[in-house]
Amino acid sequence: MSEENNKKPTRREFIHIATTAVGAVGAGCIALPLVTQMNPDASVKALAKVEVDISKIEKGNEVTIMWRGKPIFIRRRTDEEVQKAREVKIEDLKDPQKDQERVKKGKDEWLVMVGVCTHLGCVPLKQQGEFGGWFCPCHGSHYDISGRIRKGPAPVNMEVPNYEFVSDTKILIG
């Protein structure tokens, strides 16, 4: 072995290594609380998901709930409304999307969507407009019974949030 491999660090090198290690640990101790305080608090996390009892919603009716500060439309569509939504020609739509893509498989009667017009963020009126769905009176956007834009300045369909059926009578949004 050469002498360089057996050389012990000098006092000065040891002080540099120790100072660097203490500085790194100190920086971590300062940075951790700063990063942690940016995490959402418990009240915000509680709003991330909401469970809704849908057992009292009759066919042809809808309820509006608030989730993350936005209205959520939950509509229990009639068989006729589902059929009407399925008969629309995709090529006639501004934002082509089949009705089956907007609902959960096997739960066709339930439509869950963010009740905000995709033009400028107004809240559309239910059961109004030319297509039997929703109408935004602010600028004239018409949505059909599947929440798809059919007429007016809105560029895309109303958003469908992440949701799941946790039972036959409850859905979990978020």
The angle subtended at Cα 123 by Cα 74 and Cα 46, nearest 5°, is: 55
**Rg (Cα) of the chain, in Å, rounded?**
28
Calculate ∠ Cα 12-17-23, nearest 5°. Answer: 120
> pLDDT, tens digit, for every residue of 127-174?
888 888 999 988 899 999 999 999 999 999 999 999 999 998 999 998
Are 99 and 135 a contacting pair, CB within 8 Å? Answer: no
Say what the pLDDT of residue 92 is: 86
Q: Quick one: pLDDT at residue 147?
A: 92
- What's the token pair of residue 69? 């500060």
Q: Are the C-beta atoms of residues 169 and 162 closer than 8 Å to each other?
A: no
Query: What CATH number has the domain spanning 45-173?
Result: 2.102.10.10
* pLDDT tens digits, 47-87: 678 899 999 999 999 999 998 889 999 999 999 999 999 99
Q: Which amino acid is at 86?
A: R
Separation of alpha carbons 104 and 100, rounded Å: 7
DSSP code for 9? P
- The closest alpha carbon to 119, from 133, 132, 102, 136, belongs to 136
The pLDDT of residue 7 = 75
Q: What's the pLDDT band for 113 if we cut at 50, 70, 90? A: very high
Question: Which residue intervals of 62-121 are DSSP H helices?
Answer: 79-86
Closest CA to 100 of 117, 83, 115: 83
Q: How does pLDDT run across 3-32, given as a tens digit for each residue?
A: 556 677 788 888 888 899 888 888 888 888
pLDDT at 47 (0 to 100): 63
DSSP state, residue 40:
-
Would you say residue 109 has pLDDT above 70?
yes
The pLDDT value recorded for residue 44 is 63
Q: Is 91 exposed, middle or buried (0-12, 13-18, 19+ CB in 10 A)?
A: exposed
Query: What span, in angstroms and rounded, lies between the C-alpha atoms of 171 and 21?
Result: 52
119 labelled catalytic: no
Out of 16, 119, 139, 142, the active site residue is 139
Alpha-carbon gap, residue 63 to 76, rounded angstroms: 9
